[in-house]
Amino acid sequence: MVQPIMGEKGEKRRMISVRDLKKVYDSFTALQSVDLEIEDGEFIAILGPSGCGKTTLLKLMAGFMKPTSGEVIIDDALVASPRQLTPPEERNIGMVFQSFALWPHMTVREHVMFPLLHHRFTAKDLKKNMRERVETVLELVGLKQLAGRYPAELSGGQKQRVALARAVAALPRLLLMDEPLSALDVELRMEMRREIQRIHRKTQSTIVYVTHDQSEALAMADRIVVMNEGRIEQVGTPEAVYTKPETEFVAAFVGKCQLMKGTWEEGVFIPEKLPLERWKDHGVSVKLKKKGFYPVRPEQWRLAPGGERGEGGIVTLVQYQGKEIHYTIQVENEEWEVHDSVYSPRFYVGDEVSLSLRSFAETREAALV
Amino acid sequence: MLSNGQLAGEEMKKSPSFSLFLSRKKLYALVGLLFIFILFVWPILRLIWLSFVQEGTLTLGHYREVLQEQATWTTVGNTIVIVLGSTALSLGLGVTLAWMMAYMNIRGKRWMQLLIFLPFIIPSYITTLAWIQLFSHNGPVAGLLNWLPGSLAVPNLYSMGGIIFILGLSHYPLVYLFTVDVFRKIPRELVEAAKTSGATKGQVLRRIVLPMALPGIASGGLLAFLTNLDNFGIPAFLGIPANIRVLSTYIYEQVAGFGPSAFSRAAVLSVMLGIIALAGTFIQWRLLKRSRVTETTARDTEPRIYITGMRRRVIESGVWAFLLITSLVPFICMGALSFVKAYGLPFELENLSLKNYEYVFLTDPKTGTAWWNSISLAFLTTVICLIAGTAIAYVRYTRPGSVTKLMELFITMPYALPGTVFALCMILAWMQPIPGWNPGIYGSVWILFIAYVTRFFILQVRGSYAAFLQVDPSIEEAARVSGAKGWTKWRRILLPLILPGLIGGALLVFLMVLTELTVSSLLWSAGSETIGVVIFNYQQAGYTIYSTAFASIIVCGILIGGLLFTWFNQLWERKVRKEE
């Protein structure tokens, strides 16, 4: 079941099929039965907490190891199964590593030149005009002035640009990225996100991007694969994953939702704690409905002074964030997260408040503020 | 062409019968491990076996015989006193110097460090020779004591005290090496936290610094203990003339004496030496069991104790005086005396000549043979170790696990054994590799070659492995993703990054083989003399001035080699790795 790709027209060819893939290390199961289809030219983000198996999945796609069972098919050719493995050097791929993995004894130019010289899939015209290609790639990542430098003479952001340039130089069909921005500081991360998106648009290659940072995945990907404990929890567009989580894990990890318990009756939700309320269905998944859950994201709550209609609680923490305010509210024995606009009435630590659900229209409005 | 499905089917059909017993990969691992076991461990087991066998039957007869002799117990007593004394001296010097170099703001640390390492790269028998010259009856120390008021006698180096002194001085660099980085890795904040909690300087040292440095101190101490136990050159040069025996020289005398049951008696003594070594290891293990090692943090080379003015000058000159007197003066003295025409003449211009050098290099044919033997053996051993050792290190690096760990343990054993014991193992294993078949390896130069490779192989494996560990796995993965395979990957990426480490390991192997004495002294035969053996024989025969001339050349050679390597390393770092 492949969902349509946002903002793309026409038929897309399938590029990668991962079938029933499983990987066991000694006694630890890193990946249990994963199925995934990736279209040509798609930007896929694999999102999950550390230890969820996302890096294992990426390494299997790259060909660094054999799966315990299942298979990987790229461009209709079987490249990995328990019996057979096409090693990474014989695959048409590029990769960006978390630790940059630059070669300390080579200049920036030599890094970009390396795959052009050695990659067996390098197109003939690129090989013929190698110098030109190197200059083009260096310009693409903005390193033209630093071509003669060695890695030790570069800053963190520049190193990551070199790693990117090396990965895309030979125009691989598939670009794998293993948490490429996690070693950079916040400012640089924002800049590099735009850089990676621009490169994706220019090169048109398929990108599989592994990250534990949900905002990275939401910002860049065409589709997000959310993983947990070696399993895929949900595959979908960023908006679908964020607003319509299918499982409890996705609701909590991506949307930071509060899962309200209650009962579903004729498409309306009756929260256990507020039996007089009737909450409308904005596309809650069948799975969550069955379990009697209604996911509420922090920005969906409306705060009002205590005593008004809604769930009562006490403000325990206030964090001013500039454009919004993050409140932590103690409701009985639980702590709920609430994000409110700076233009709404303010509350302070110790205030009694009551929480109620914003209407769908209101949330949209709040998002626009 | 077979399709994938057919291929998979073929495999499926074949695999059950095969995997019933072993998969192919496991088979390779097993064959490799067995091969290493036969080369490195089997000789040791044969030695132990020999100590229990008499005329084909199991017996404790050899033990009974050896243990009943008074000489055995005197030797064991000597060994314990000498080893404990010299280890204490090494620990005291090594830890104090390491602490000062790690924490104090003394100037010229680079040069001090070089002087500390000097006794480490010069073979101990040459160091002994140099000290003997310094303390000889017409040497500089005697002159100084004569000039001073009072009738002070020159200390006699041919004594227990002398052996302890030279052993301790020769092996404190081991302790230094193990502790200095441990001191530097203790986070500065831990000391500051103790100080803000009200601890005095003494309390900080006793309660924080020393307990945290214990793993390093214990490892360095154990290594010094084992090296002192294993040392042959120093007790052979100083102890044999004075009738003071330790186990290593006693074993040598047994084997060299060729009695009817010489090998069996030597095997019993070797087992006893092994038991003492195990006891030392056990003490270290007990010490480390109680200490908890924190996660290693970054090395902090900034000084932590700032001294100024007079105090700083006094401490600096104290360190310099100690290092110069212990590391340089004896060798200068030996070099000077090697020009004196005849032993006993005073050091005056009219008595100086190049006669000794002429004799050593032109007149005596044995030295020429020894040069040729040692250099070609060192070269051959280094090449074999470099290639095979690096291959094994690569396997250990790419496939960490219990099998490769066991492999490393096997390879370490010949190096961990005392040299005399190891030489005995080699004789037993290669005299008749298969019982009843003597290919004549023992008695030729080839026994030396096999013994050197077996003994020093681990040095190259460790050196290459350390070089590989410096390379993050993603560096190699990045090369593969970029399409580099096989030879291209090695030539363009791996070799340039590991070369200094490989050369360092190879140079160490070369140096060790070139100046080796202990193993050679038991394995040489007419025509296969080595440098160490010739110097030892000169000394034993009383031709001290010839041995000093020979040894002076060796020391110069080592110094030049060391400087060349340092220069090459710096050039490489700057030109190739471009490190800042």
Query: Which three-class secondary structure string do you get for B398-441?
Result: HCCCHHHHHHHHHHHHHHHCCHHHHHHHHHHHHHCCECCECCCC
Together in a domain, B320 and B388: no
* Cα distance between residue B58 and residue A281, in whole Å: 89
Burial class (CB in 10 A: 0-12, 13-18, 19+), A204: exposed
Mean local confidence (pLDDT), B417-430: 88
Together in a domain, B380 and B327: no
Rounded percentage of chain A residues whose pLDDT exceeds 90? 37
Instruction: Please determine, for residue A239, whether its predicted confidence score (pLDDT) is greater than 70.
Output: yes
Report the range of poorest mean pLDDT among A24-28, B142-146, B258-262. Answer: B258-262
Return the half-sphere exposure (C-beta side, CA atoms, 13 A cut-off) of residue A245: 23
Beta bridge partner(s), residue B204: none
Closest chain A residue by Cα to residue B493: A103
Distance (Å) from the alpha carbon of A299 to chain B's nearest alpha carbon: 41
Interface contact flag, B482 A62, Cβ < 8 Å: no
Distance (Å) from the alpha carbon of A97 to chain B's nearest alpha carbon: 7
Chain A positions touching B489 (Cβ under 8 A) are: 89
Chain A positions touching B481 (Cβ under 8 A) are: 62, 88-89, 93-95, 167, 176
How many domains in chain B? 2
* Cα distance between residue B82 and residue B147, in whole Å: 32
Using a CB cutoff of 8 Å and minimum separation of 24, what contacts does B65-69 make? Answer: B65/B261, B65/B265, B66/B265, B66/B268, B66/B269
Distance (Å) from the alpha carbon of B493 to chain A's nearest alpha carbon: 7
Chain A positions touching B479 (Cβ under 8 A) are: 103, 114
Q: How confident is the model at residue A11 (pLDDT cuts 50, 70, 90)?
A: low
pLDDT recorded at residue A341: 87
* Cα distance between residue B343 and residue B328, in whole Å: 22
Rounded percentage of chain B residues whose pLDDT exceeds 70? 93
> What is the radius of gyration, based on Cα positions, of chain B?
27
Interface of A with B (CB under 8 A): 62, 64, 78, 81, 83-84, 87-90, 93-95, 97-99, 101-105, 114-115, 118-122, 150-153, 163, 166-167, 170, 176
Return the half-sphere exposure (C-beta side, CA atoms, 13 A cut-off) of residue B62: 25
Instruction: Please determine, for residue B19, whether its predicted confidence score (pLDDT) is greater than 70.
Output: no
Q: How many CB pairs under 8 A join A and B?
A: 86
In a domain, residue B23? The reply is no
Domain with residue B466: its CATH number is 1.10.3720.10
Which is nearest to B270 in space by CA: B285, B256, B249, B284?
A: B249
- A256-368 and A14-242 share a CATH fold: no
Chain A positions touching B11 (Cβ under 8 A) are: 83
Interface contact flag, A89 B11, Cβ < 8 Å: no
Instruction: Please determine, for residue A226, whether its predicted confidence score (pLDDT) is greater than 90.
Output: yes
Give the nearest partner residue to B482 out of A90, A98, A166, using CB atoms: A166
Comparison of pLDDT for A343 and B292, the residue scoring more: A343
Q: Would you call A83 helix, strand, or coil by DSSP?
A: coil
Instruction: Please determine, for residue A311, whether its predicted confidence score (pLDDT) is greater than 70.
Output: yes
According to CATH, the superfamily of the domain at A14-242 is: P-loop containing nucleotide triphosphate hydrolases (3.40.50.300)
Q: Which of B6, B480, B571, B576 to probe the A interface (max A CBs under 10 A)?
A: B480
Together in a domain, B419 and B458: yes
Give the nearest partner residue to B485 out of A89, A95, A122, using CB atoms: A89
* Cα distance between residue A100 and residue A88, in whole Å: 17
In a domain, residue B100? The reply is yes
pLDDT recorded at residue B290: 64
Give the nearest partner residue to A101 out of B472, B497, B579, using CB atoms: B472
Together in a domain, B328 and B363: no
Which is nearest to A72 in space by CA: A88, A89, A85, A55?
A: A85
Q: How many helices (H) and strands (E) does chain B have?
A: 29, 2
Q: What is the largest CA-CA distance in chain B?
A: 99
Q: How confident is the model at residue B576 (pLDDT cuts 50, 70, 90)?
A: low
Rounded percentage of chain B residues whose pLDDT exceeds 90? 23
Mean local confidence (pLDDT), B423-435: 85
Q: How many helices (H) and strands (E) does chain A have?
A: 11, 20
Q: How confident is the model at residue A20 (pLDDT cuts 50, 70, 90)?
A: very high
In a domain, residue B536? The reply is yes
Sheet containing strand A14-25, edge to edge, reads A28-39, A14-25, A69-74, A77-81, A84-85
* Cα distance between residue B241 and residue A32, in whole Å: 74
Instruction: Please determine, for residue B337, whether its predicted confidence score (pLDDT) is greater than 80.
Output: yes
Chain B positions touching A83 (Cβ under 8 A) are: 7-8, 11
Q: Which of B313, B337, B361 is the last residue of a domain?
A: B337
Distance (Å) from the alpha carbon of A220 to chain B's nearest alpha carbon: 24
Q: Which DSSP helix (H) or strand (E) runs through A338? A: strand A334-341
Closest chain A residue by Cα to residue B488: A118
Q: Which of B315, B337, B359 is the last residue of a domain?
A: B337
CA distances from A364 to A243, A301, A304, A361 (A): 12, 13, 19, 5
Q: Which of B311, B337, B363 is the last residue of a domain?
A: B337
Instruction: Please determine, for residue B512, whether its predicted confidence score (pLDDT) is greater than 80.
Output: yes
Interface contact flag, A119 B579, Cβ < 8 Å: no
Any idea which residue has 């799966």 for tokens? A67
* Cα distance between residue B470 and residue A168, in whole Å: 27
Mean local confidence (pLDDT), A6-34: 80
pLDDT recorded at residue A3: 44
**Quick one: angle between helices B365-384 and B445-469, nearest 10?**
40
Chain A positions touching B480 (Cβ under 8 A) are: 64, 87-89
CA distances from A208 to A9, A228, A238 (A): 21, 17, 15
Any idea which residue has 């993983």 for tokens? A227
Together in a domain, B315 and B423: no
Beta bridge partner(s), residue A234: A226
Distance (Å) from the alpha carbon of B567 to chain A's nearest alpha carbon: 18
pLDDT recorded at residue B3: 40
Give the nearest partner residue to B578 out of A115, A122, A152, using CB atoms: A152
Chain B positions touching A105 (Cβ under 8 A) are: 496-497, 576-578
Chain B positions touching A97 (Cβ under 8 A) are: 474, 477-478
Chain B positions touching A84 (Cβ under 8 A) are: 4, 7-8
Which is nearest to A109 in space by CA: A83, A135, A140?
A: A135
Q: How confident is the model at residue B293 (pLDDT cuts 50, 70, 90)?
A: low
Together in a domain, B464 and B527: yes
Q: Would you call A18 helix, strand, or coil by DSSP?
A: strand
Together in a domain, B307 and B403: no
pLDDT recorded at residue B16: 41
Residue B516 near residue B373 (C-beta atoms within 8 A): no
> Residue A111 has which token pair?
């890094």
Closest chain A residue by Cα to residue B494: A103
Chain B positions touching A160 (Cβ under 8 A) are: none
* Cα distance between residue A37 and residue A50, in whole Å: 23
Q: How far is CA B231 from the centre of its chain?
A: 10
Q: How far is CA B358 from the centre of its chain?
A: 32
Question: Mean pLDDT for chain B?
Answer: 84
Beta bridge partner(s), residue A265: A268
pLDDT recorded at residue A358: 81
Mean local confidence (pLDDT), A104-132: 88
Q: How far is CA B550 from the centre of its chain?
A: 22
Give the nearest partner residue to B475 out of A90, A103, A167, using CB atoms: A103
DSSP label at residue B352 = B
Mean local confidence (pLDDT), B378-392: 94
* pTM reported for the whole predicted model: 0.78
Domain ranges of chain A: 14-242, 256-368
Closest chain B residue by Cα to residue A122: B483
Together in a domain, B303 and B357: no
Chain A positions touching B501 (Cβ under 8 A) are: none
Residue A353 near residue A313 (C-beta atoms within 8 A): yes
Residue B141: give the domain boundaries.
72-243+273-337
* Cα distance between residue B394 and residue B458, in whole Å: 13
pLDDT recorded at residue B2: 37
CATH of A256-368, one of 2.40.50.140, 3.40.50.12780, 1.20.1440.230, 3.60.21.10: 2.40.50.140
Mean local confidence (pLDDT), B180-185: 87
Interface contact flag, A103 B11, Cβ < 8 Å: no
* Cα distance between residue B445 and residue B541, in whole Å: 23
* Cα distance between residue B343 and residue B542, in whole Å: 10
Q: Cβ atoms within 10 A of the Cβ of B260, count?
A: 7
Give the nearest partner residue to B482 out of A90, A114, A152, using CB atoms: A114
Closest chain A residue by Cα to residue B485: A89
CA distances from A270 to A244, A279, A363 (A): 19, 7, 20
Give the nearest partner residue to B483 out of A103, A120, A150, using CB atoms: A120
The pLDDT tens digits of the residues spanning A43-99 come to: 999 999 988 889 999 999 999 888 999 999 998 899 999 988 998 888 889 999 988
The pLDDT tens digits of the residues spanning B461-487 come to: 988 998 898 888 889 999 999 988 888
Beta bridge partner(s), residue A295: A259
Interface contact flag, A105 B496, Cβ < 8 Å: yes
Instruction: Please determine, for residue A277, whether its predicted confidence score (pLDDT) is greater than 90.
Output: no
Which is nearest to B498 in space by CA: A112, A166, A107, A103?
A: A103
Chain B positions touching A103 (Cβ under 8 A) are: 475, 478-479, 493, 497
> Residue A285 has which token pair?
């998944």
Residue B207 near residue B199 (C-beta atoms within 8 A): yes
Interface contact flag, B8 A81, Cβ < 8 Å: yes
> Residue A77 has which token pair?
């050719």
ipTM of the complex: 0.77
User: Backbone phi, then psi, for A189, in 5-degree steps?
Assistant: -60, -45
Beta bridge partner(s), residue B476: none
Contacts of A310 (CB under 8 A, 6+ apart): A274, A277, A302, A304, A354, A355, A356
Instruction: Please determine, for residue B78, whether its predicted confidence score (pLDDT) is greater than 70.
Output: yes
Interface of B with A (CB under 8 A): 4, 7-8, 11, 472, 474-475, 477-485, 488-489, 492-493, 496-497, 576-580
Q: Cβ atoms within 10 A of the Cβ of B140, count?
A: 18
Interface contact flag, A89 B481, Cβ < 8 Å: yes
pLDDT recorded at residue B292: 59
Residue A116 near residue A165 (C-beta atoms within 8 A): no
In a domain, residue B113? The reply is yes
Report the range of poorest mean pLDDT among A214-218, A235-239, B275-279, B530-534. Answer: B275-279
Together in a domain, B88 and B132: yes
Chain A positions touching B477 (Cβ under 8 A) are: 62, 64, 88, 95, 97, 101
In a domain, residue B37? The reply is no
Report the range of poorest mean pLDDT among A130-144, B243-257, B332-346, B499-513. Answer: B332-346
